[in-house]
Amino acid sequence: MKTTKSHPKLLLTGAAGGLGQALRERLKANCDVLRLSDRVAFGEAGHNEEIVLADLADADAVNTMVAGVDAIIHLGGVSVEGPFEPIMQANILGVYHLYEAARKHGVKRVVFASSNHVTGFYRQSETINADQPPRPDGFYGVSKAFGEDLSRFYFDRYGIETACVRIGSSFAEPRDRRMLASWLSFDDLHRLITACLTTPVLGHSIIFGMSDNAVTWWDNSKARHVGYVPQDSSDVFRDAVYARTAAPDLNDPAVQFQGGGFVKAGPFQ
Ligand code: NAI
Ligand code: 15L
């Protein structure tokens, strides 16, 4: 897909994180100015960049972060399973602050980094689509399901379009056998975000963020209007992953369920 500058000024939250770093250079092709934000400092702004630090739990800071941008790629927040309180602050309160700021400033398109852990308690023997109900595998997955519901409300009530991208496992390479099914390359992630930013009518869409992997648990047929065509595949890593990992224990919930080890995390007190 051709990368067009659909929005002059883009906001990328979570810019100091793993995916934020991977997308920083790539997203410059999508805009004239890239505003980068995180809670923690991560250096100086480069050419055609702005940096606005903000804690998502701070409504005023989030309001300032959003002012003047044309679209938002929201990656910021707690990205793994853990105790409820920090997840609640960053992912539940934080996403509310983000959408309130978008409403006040007239931002009409958001790409929301949801997660496969919204549906982590489906089995690895099942293929699911976006119409099937969430089955979160922990507080983290619940917080992402909240973000999906909140963004649907802001679409229905205020017309803010959102792509909820249920990212699988987006790393440089698949790290284990499970990720052969869930892997999303950084280039495909960028292609997917570009599609979400440029499709004429996005609406409120849920799309599974995965590369063109031979083994998959997710059916993206409900999101054809987004126009995402993955070009990478985990298949080229299969032999190496099998060689360095043990055969799975089929009685292990981490092997039975799509969420992997997240389904066994906790309790935390
Ligand atoms: P990460 O943990 O490396 O980056 C998250 C960033 O959010 C960090 O830089 C952190 O400082 C920032 N952050 C945390 N709490 C914050 C707060 N209260 N206010 C402002 N910023 C805060 O995570 P990664 O891997 O880069 O993921 C990015 C997004 O994509 C996350 O929302 C994650 O849930 C989602 N995702 C990532 C997947 C992956 O495979 N990398 C899979 C599924 C979802
Ligand atoms: C996620 O949601 C996490 O953010 C990421 O770190 C991985 O654990 C990924 O899911 C996964 O399921 O592999």
Ligand 1 mean position to 253 CA, how many Å?
Answer: 25
Please, what sign has the CA dihedral across residues 164, 161, 145, 24?
positive
Ligand nearest to the CA of 147: 1
Residue 3 pLDDT greater than 90, yes or no: no
Given pLDDT bands bounded at 50, 70 and 90, which one contains residue 2? Answer: low
Question: Which of 74, 75, 79 maximizes ligand 2 atoms within 8 Å of its Cβ, making it the mutation to test the pocket?
Answer: 79
Active-site option among 140, 154, 158, 242: 140
Per CATH, the number for 7-264 is 3.40.50.720
Residues with Cβ within 8 Å of 54's Cβ and at least 6 positions away in sequence, in order, are 37, 38, 39, 61, 62, 64, 65
Ligand number, closest to the Cα atom of 209: 1
Percent of the chain with pLDDT over 70: 99
Mean pLDDT along residues 52-63: 98
Cα gap 161→197, rounded to integer Å? 10
Nearest alpha carbon, ligand 1 atom 44: 115
Q: How far apart, in whole angstroms, are the C-alpha atoms of residue 45 and residue 36? A: 8
Q: Whose CA is nearest to atom 22 of ligand 1?
A: 77
**What pLDDT is attached to residue 6?**
80
Q: Give residues (CB < 6 A) around ligand 1.
A: 14, 16-20, 38-40, 55-57, 75-79, 89-90, 94, 113, 115, 167, 169-170
pTM: 0.98
Average confidence (pLDDT) over 71-96:
98
Q: Is 170 in the pocket of ligand 2 (CB under 6 A)?
A: no
Taking the centre of ligand 2 as the mean of its atom positions, its distance from the CA of residue 47, in whole angstroms, is 31
Q: Which residue has the tokens 């004239």?
A: 32
Rounded to whole angstroms, how far apart are CA atoms 37 and 50? 8
What pLDDT, in 10s, does the model give residues 195-245? 999 999 999 999 999 999 999 999 999 999 999 999 999 999 999 999 999
Could you give the CA distance from residue 70 to residue 124 in angstroms, rounded to a whole number? Answer: 38
Closest ligand, as measured to the CA of 15: 1
Position 197 scores a pLDDT of 98
Asked about 242 being catalytic, the answer comes back as no
* Of 36, 35, 19, 76, residue with least CA distance to 190: 19
